[in-house]
Copies of this chain bind each other. A is one copy, B any other.
Amino acid sequence: MQFLIEIDKLKTIERRTRIIHGERLENDAEHSWHLAMMALILQGHSNKDIDIFKVVKMLLVHDLVEIDAGDTFAYDTQGNIGKYERELKAAHRLFGMLPEQQAKELLSLWIEFEMKETQEAQFASSLDRLQPIIHNHQNEGDTWQKYNITSEQVLIRNAEMANGSETLWTYAQQLVQHSIDQGILKQS
């Protein structure tokens, strides 16, 4: 029960992306819910057969470590140094609050997500990449404009989405092109 009270903190961890229907920044808890819904709806776009419940579980827990380690901006090269070590420490503290078997299961789900070796992790990661592109496309390039991000950075950063889903990666590239055409994403 202490774990379930502790993870309420995820509702206070802000991302760099705004929600679509409002002005404020999105928090990690509602982001995780949105990704779980995307997994249910878009599962047919996975490159290979997947255990969809595993994908949903991964997405529900994937950002919990940010309760201790904070949200690291995807395009912040400096901030991303040592990120995995910081987050692994957080994972041990947080999941360590659970009974041993549950702690093991959630820790191994989180590590699997981070390693991106299984098809489940690759598909889950694709959704985590796709969601902010949809948000920025809907929000007139919000985060891209604010942090001076170029289309080249978006494409390089997110190309690995193809490992999880070729069709979603094609769709993401269309959103990027459309954003360039609309003048809300700078072409480089």
- Interface range for A: 35 or more
Of B22, B26, B36, the contact of A33 (CB 8 Å cutoff): B36
Main secondary structure of the interface of A (DSSP, over half): helix
Separation of A159 and B86 alpha carbons in the complex (Å): 43
Of B10, B30, B61, the contact of A11 (CB 8 Å cutoff): B30
Q: Mask for A75-104, Cβ within 8 A of B = 1, else 0?
A: 000000000000000000000001000100
A56 interface residue per 8 A CB criterion: yes
A27 interface residue per 8 A CB criterion: yes
Are A60 and B41 in contact, with the CB atoms below 8 A? no
Separation of A1 and B174 alpha carbons in the complex (Å): 13
Given the known inter-chain contacts A4-B41, A41-B102, A134-B4, please indicate yes or no for A36 contacting B22, CB distance below 8 A: no
Chain B CB within 10 Å, residue with most, of A27, A30, A57: A30
Q: Nearest chain B CB to A103's CB is how many angstroms away? A: 11
A8 interface residue per 8 A CB criterion: yes
A74 interface residue per 8 A CB criterion: no
Beyond A11-B34, A37-B61, list 18 extra A-B contacts (CB 8 Å): A1-B134, A4-B34, A4-B42, A5-B134, A7-B37, A8-B20, A10-B30, A10-B33, A11-B22, A12-B19, A12-B22, A29-B29, A29-B30, A29-B33, A40-B57, A53-B56, A56-B56, A56-B57
What 7 A-B pairs come out closest when comparing CB atoms?
A29-B30, A33-B33, A8-B20, A53-B53, A30-B30, A11-B30, A9-B21
